[in-house]
Structure 1
Amino acid sequence: MKRLLGNFCAGAVVIAGLASATPVQANFSETEIQLHYGEDYKLGRNANFPDFDNTTSRQTITLEHFSTNDIGDLFFFVDFFQDNDKLEDDSGTESDQYGEIYYHLHGSQFGLNFGDSSPVSGLDLGVGLNQGTDFSVALAGPRLNFGIEGFRVLSLGVYAYNNFVDPFSRNLDTTYQATLVWDYPFAMGKQKFLMRGFVDFIGDQGSGVEEQIVFSPQFRWDLGNAIKLNEDKLYLGVEYTHFNNKFGVEGVDENSYSLFVSFKF
């Protein structure tokens, strides 16, 4: 846990710098901390070659930020996680981190506008970076935003996906990533809830790296509203993740879940 907190503090410094670098005239800005405890993660500290059927429980601290202005929007998150289960020789990594960052330019800057009657509210052009300890992926492509009643966010991005740093120094093919993102608040009586999440579809990259699907929805209860504090600030939730062919390893399908508390500021 000390190592996990050390990684978190180091990452917090980086994220604070990134957040402060976002435009001061942003129309909207939000940063969130999530504390997760979950089960059934594969390819973790206790990964057993070649079956990879071991699972581990895991603690995760997630820092997440989103901001937008007239020019574009910035989104990033960093996960700092620690696995609890280990192999007998304890050769696996106890804690690690993973992050993603995306910046999209609003298509309106280039005259790409849609009428009020269109379900498409915008077309943006984005670039991204997915970064782990021993791999890096660069992404670039368009994103469609949909103005559907009830959704705060509903978007579909299609990106070129280039794995330019690989832990095994393989010459991997450039492929695609299609990402659907949603954020849907609703109420039942006086209680408020939020459904949010994403689905990633990633193509195969050759060299035994198969196509992947990551489906990760969250269900959140607005605890802040329930205890008569500020709404949309403090949540209790559950997250489920289905990871088909995890990390491109054929047949390694993860079905993990976690309970979490989150705080927005």
Structure 2
Amino acid sequence: MIRLFTIPVCIGAMFSSFSLMAANWSTTEVHYQRGTLDVPIFAQNGVTDADTTVITLQHASGWDYGDNFFFVDYIDDDEEDGFNDTDFYAEVYLNFSLSKMTGNNVGFGPVRDIGLLMGGNFSGDAKVKKYLPGVRFSMDAPGFAFLNLDVTAYFDDSDGVTRGGAPTEDNSYMFDVNWDYPFTVGSQHFSITGHAEYIGSRDNEFGGKVSHWILAQPQFRWDIGHAIFDRKDTIYAGIEYQYWRNKLGDDSTDESAVQLLLVWRL
């Protein structure tokens, strides 16, 4: 259990330090998701898919020179097969705005701002660690709360098979589009938020091919806190659609899944 919570605690402590420095705004959410997700061929033990629960702690905040984002997923499915069994996965991104740091507008055309981005991806059972230095292009998109294009490297620092994890991999790259689009229909408040990423192919430590993948996770949210309790931006219900071509680099697994989504904004 110590292993399960070590990285989330470190991430929380790091962002607490940023908040103490110069936090201008912050949003923290707890998500509950439930759906049937595919098991990649390399992880199958007689099971091809499983009903899966994902509980997520997600945080975003802004400070004088940029913004921060992280999430931690707790994942558990209904099968005891060694995959997604009380596991966790976490991502963290620190964005440093060039406009804010220099005091000048460094945007151009539809690009409102450019940021220097540092990211990290971490998983529990697989002992995977990835580092993602790169650049963020924040777009000037009418109607969007935000619309970003992130272009990063995808450096592997995983433990590898000899230390009980997944095979290490060559370095690669990532393109990620992330957004939030709020809208209203009559008196009801909705939003479409999420991201879509492309990660390039690479080889693992045994010379095997890890395929490129496309992962899209758009969420459709209805603000039921406003609709039922007249308390806006507190409780949401909806769905998350997960499309994952070549899931986890397995070119035989293309996932298309709809998950129930409940969100509590703290």
- TM-score class, shorter-chain normalisation, is 0.7 to 0.9
Q: Return the offset for 1:182.
A: 0.9
Q: Return the offset for 1:261.
A: 1.0
Counterpart code for 2:110: P
Matched, 1:31 2:23: no
Could you tell me how far apart the structure 1 residues matched to 2:116 and 2:12 are?
25
Paired residues for 1:121-136 under 5 Å: 121-133=112-124, 134-136=127-129
Could you tell me how far apart the structure 2 residues matched to 1:70 and 1:91 are?
44
Q: Which runs of 4+ in 1 moved over 3 A?
A: 10-16, 90-93, 166-171
Could you tell me how far apart the structure 2 residues matched to 1:34 and 1:143 are?
26
Summarize deviations over 1:84-113 as a string: whole Å, max 9, x none: 024xxx555621000000101111114662
Q: Which runs of 5+ in 1 are unaligned?
A: none
Matched, 1:165 2:158: yes
Residue 200 of structure 1 corresponds to which residue in structure 2? 197
CA contact (8 A) 1:41 1:57 kept: no
Could you tell me how far apart the structure 1 residues matched to 2:66 and 2:264 are?
25
Q: Return the offset for 1:204.
A: 0.6
Q: Return the offset for 1:34.
A: 0.5
Summarize deviations over 1:166-194 as a string: whole Å, max 9, x none: 54365632211000001000000011101
Residue 258 of structure 1 corresponds to which residue in structure 2? 259
Matched, 1:95 2:86: yes
Paired residues for 1:1-265 under 5 Å: 13-14=9-10, 16-24=12-20, 25-43=22-40, 47-48=43-44, 54-86=48-80, 90=81, 92=83, 94-108=85-99, 109-110=101-102, 113-114=105-106, 118-133=109-124, 134-165=127-158, 167-168=160-161, 170=167, 172-206=169-203, 207-265=208-266
Counterpart code for 1:159: T
Alignment RMSD (CA, Å) = 2.6
Q: Return the offset for 1:151.
A: 0.1
Counterpart code for 2:221: R
Residue 157 of structure 2 aligns to a residue whose secondary structure is: strand
Q: Return the offset for 1:15.
A: 5.2
Change (3 A) 1:234 1:69: same
Residue 149 of structure 1 aligns to a residue whose secondary structure is: coil
TM-score normalised by the chain length of structure 1: 0.86
Change (3 A) 1:209 1:47: closer
Q: Return the offset for 1:48.
A: 2.1
Could you tell me how far apart the structure 2 residues matched to 1:145 and 1:164 are?
28
Q: Which runs of 5+ in 2 are unaligned?
A: none
TM-score normalised by the chain length of structure 2: 0.86
Identity in percent: 34
